[in-house]
Amino acid sequence: AAVKAVGLSAYCRMRDSNTQYDGRSFEELRHECLQNGVLFEDPDFPAADSSLYYSQSVPVNIEWKRPKELCDNPKFIVGNADRTDICQGQLGDCWLLAAIASLTLKKDAMARVIPHDQDFDHRYAGIFHFQFWQHNKWLDVVVDDRLPSVRNQLIMLHSASNNEFWSALLEKAYAKMHGSYEALKGGTTMEAMEDFTAPRNLFSIMKKALDRGSMMGCSIDITSSAESEAKTASGLVKGHAYSITGLEEVNFRGQKVQLIRIRNPWGQVEWNGPWSDKSREWNYVDSAEKNRILQNSAEDGEFWMEFEDFKRNYDKVEICNMTPDSLTDDTKRHWEVSLFEGNWIRGSTAGGYHRLCSV
């Protein structure tokens, strides 16, 4: 069985993009800089030591320079963004680089994370932006293009081409979102992949998984040990593992509503919001459909809730796929296995490292 743990925020509904700086959009900030004939300087993530490290001193020879100070003909992207464009710098964030390399293979996803409405042409104003999926919405992160360098060489993530800067600027935006470059040390590739993606079809993916016999669980993250198994006003328990046991669509006042059934293994303590066992929403559902879905509903730890509420309240979904079928394809795909029996014969068919004579 293949187990996949994903942050729920990576799969939630798309909403309008936000910006981190001053409540204004990237376009507004760039237009203002162009009108005033100035290059953007980000006050939220300045060219200062605090943007680099929070627990160690900064080498005195680090300089923050814009791409036009580092080369004669800077480009945002040279040709097409490619996984070979990514070269690791002094920072221990190979997990992020691995996710970025994978992102370059998904052109649609990459176009969302790395908007192409920016370059070093007539629109250049020293400002760039990138989009990451955070807290159930796309966050538009703006940065200036001052990059840490030593002797005119970038010291963090950089491209194999000396005049290409999309990867260095992407890393800077991601560092800003986390507070500093140092904060990017020691993450996991899954974290970055979640921040780069936001499919709209989580309900259908989970429904297909259940229909194919997969097992699923969910949980609410905690920020401190004091929150562990703390009950919320809506009846949910933080830091507690739940089972996902069903997904349904019901007709409610002329519209389709997506519902999810969750079980608390305690056998008690249930969601008390909309679509809970005795909520008024069920009064507007056809009685036959209601009886089919609720069956012998009781205070047994199992409850229904609207899928949108589920996405707002839970942070993580775990899927154990019991078959090798793809959950995102309309048709099942099966692995094909071929078995060939034989044996290694020393000096004839044996293989391995040439210095190990025993093989």
Which one is catalytic: 94, 116, 152, 201? 94
Q: Considering the candidates 12, 33, 240, 321, report the single residue annotated as catalytic.
A: 240
Counting residues of the chain whose pLDDT is more than 70, the rounded percentage is: 84
On the question of pLDDT at 10 being above 50, the answer is: no
Say if residue 60's pLDDT is above 80: no
Residue 218 annotated to the active site: no
Q: Residue 295: pLDDT band by 50, 70, 90 thresholds?
A: confident
pLDDT digits 0-9 by tens, 151-174: 999 999 999 899 999 999 999 999
- Pick the catalytic residue from 33, 129, 218, 264: 264
Residues of the chain with pLDDT > 90, as a percent, come to 49
Token digits for 284? 């507007």
Please check whether residue 167 is in contact with residue 342, taking contact to mean a CB–CB distance below 8 angstroms. no
Taken in order of first residue, the domains within the chain and their CATH numbers are 14-196 (no CATH), 202-321 (3.90.70.10)
pLDDT on residue 334? 53
Is the pLDDT higher at 27 or at 357? 27
Distance of alpha carbon 92 from its chain centroid, rounded? 19
Residue-level pLDDT at 324: 59
The confidence score (pLDDT) of residue 19 equals 52
- pLDDT category of residue 301 using cuts at 50, 70 and 90: confident
Q: Is the pLDDT of residue 280 over 50?
A: yes
What DSSP string describes 263-278?
E-TTS-----STTSTT
**What would the two tokens of residue 96 be?**
């992020």
Q: 113-148, pLDDT tens digit by residue?
A: 999 899 999 999 999 999 998 876 789 999 999 999
> Picking from 14-18, 75-79, 113-117, 191-195, which range would have the lowest pLDDT averaged per residue?
14-18
Whole-number pLDDT of residue 14 = 32
Check if 240 is active-site: yes
Q: Which pLDDT does position 201 carry in this prediction? A: 80
Dihedral angle of Cα 307, 311, 314, 317, to the nearest 10 degrees: 80
Q: Count how many Cα atoms sit within 13 Å of the Cα of residue 3 in the half-sphere of its side chain.
A: 4
Q: Residue 359 pLDDT more than 70?
A: no
pTM, two decimals, is 0.64
CA separation for the pair 262, 271 (Å, rounded):
9
Does the annotation mark 354 as catalytic? Answer: no
